[in-house]
């Protein structure tokens, strides 16, 4: 799966450019390397429901297990990103997409794409902890704690992709 980018031929709302600039400031080491060698890839569209989010986690765990890779941290990240897509990125009648890409150097990239591009999460390093008694609001903090890096890729309109990378090398 290729990198997502802003489509310069379609006029972009102002919030897209602002979020793109903020997200572009946070890069993983993998973003600066040459072309990576693909090892395994899995992509699926799922309903933007709690059931779809639960299925995303189960499918990620199953595929990583089939590929002989550890899945605990990845499963937590998928669960949080998929839940965010169904809660904050849901558009009635539209699905969200889960992609898992493993490169030969054991780098796992998790991508969850939804169709609410105007509904942007905090950028990496800016998410704040909710009140102690809050029942939600910790998803991206969990992603930030478990992933080696994460970020936001915008477009094409109206989509956004939240991605996270994990180094699975022993």
Q: Which domains, ranges and CATH numbers included, belong to the chain?
A: 14-26+36-123+138-167 (3.30.565.10)
Residue 116: the pLDDT is 77
Q: pTM, whole model, 2 decimals?
A: 0.76
Within 13 A of 144's CA, how many CA atoms are on the CB side? 16
> Is residue 38 packed enough to be buried (19+ CB in 10 Å), middle (13-18) or exposed (0-12)?
exposed
User: For residue 131, how many C-alpha atoms fall within 13 Å in the half-sphere facing its CB?
Assistant: 3
Band (4; pLDDT cuts 50, 70, 90): very low
The percent of residues in the chain predicted with pLDDT above 90, rounded, is 42
Distance CA 74, CA 66 (A): 14
Tokens standing for residue 22: 């903020």
Give residue 59's pLDDT band: very low, low, confident or very high (50, 70, 90).
very high
As a whole number, the mean pLDDT across the chain is 78
Which tokens in the block code for residue 145? 């704690």
- When pLDDT is averaged across residues 75-86 and rounded to a whole number, the result is 95
The answer to whether residue 46 scores a pLDDT higher than 50 is yes
Distance CA 164, CA 79 (A): 12
């Amino acid at each position: 799966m290729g990198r997502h980018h802003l489509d310069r031929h379609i006029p972009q709302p102002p919030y897209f450019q602002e979020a793109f600039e903020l997200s572009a400031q946070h890069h993983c080491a993998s973003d600066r390397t040459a072309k990576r060698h693909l090892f395994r890839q899995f992509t699926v569209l799922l309903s933007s429901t709690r059931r779809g989010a639960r299925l995303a986690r189960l499918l990620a765990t199953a595929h990583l297990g089939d590929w002989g890779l550890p899945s605990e941290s990845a499963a937590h990240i998928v669960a949080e990103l998929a839940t965010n897509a169904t809660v904050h990125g849901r558009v009635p009648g539209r699905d969200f997409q889960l992609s898992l890409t493993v490169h030969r150097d054991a780098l796992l990239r998790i991508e969850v794409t939804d169709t609410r591009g105007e509904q942007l999460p905090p950028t990496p390093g800016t998410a704040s902890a909710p009140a102690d008694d809050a029942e939600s609001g910790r998803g991206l903090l969990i992603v930030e704690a478990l992933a080696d890096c994460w970020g936001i890729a915008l477009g094409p309109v109206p989509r956004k992709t939240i991605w996270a990378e994990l180094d699975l090398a022993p």
